[in-house]
Amino acid sequence: MIYLAVLAFGATLGLPIAVIFASTAQGKATSAALEGIARQPEATARIQTAMIIGLALIESLVIYSLLIFFLLMAKLPQGDALQKMIEADAQRPVVQTAR
């Protein structure tokens, strides 16, 4: 049961964390590229190309995390299977260890 709890926690928390950090990185990359273009307008094409490649790589990480999210969500039990697992865990006797 702990495995399922960790799996659910990882699946539901991993994607938002990836999106938050990716959006922050994309904002910083875009800001730095625009500052570079403002300083050297003649280098616009090179800076813009590098920025687009960087943004594509950052976005690919978010797409990979979305894929992992869907794979992990598919591993979680649904409906009746989950209800049976919860009921079976609730009926299990609690073992106390001596200290």
Average confidence (pLDDT) over 67-85: 80
In a domain, 86, yes or no: no
Give the total number of structural domains in the chain.
1
In 3D space, the residue among 48, 20, 54, 23 whose CA is nearest the CA of residue 35 turns out to be: 48
CB-CB contact of 7 with 75 (8 Å):
yes
- What pLDDT is recorded for position 14? 83
Average confidence (pLDDT) over 27-31: 94
What is the C-alpha to C-alpha distance for residues 98 and 37, in angstroms, rounded to an integer? 68
In a domain, 69, yes or no: yes
In 3D space, the residue among 6, 12, 15 whose CA is nearest the CA of residue 65 turns out to be: 15
Average confidence (pLDDT) over 36-62: 94
What is the C-alpha to C-alpha distance for residues 56 and 85, in angstroms, rounded to an integer? 42
In a domain, 82, yes or no: no
Average confidence (pLDDT) over 28-45: 94
The boundaries of the domain holding residue 65 are: 11-75
In a domain, 65, yes or no: yes
In a domain, 64, yes or no: yes
Average confidence (pLDDT) over 64-86: 81
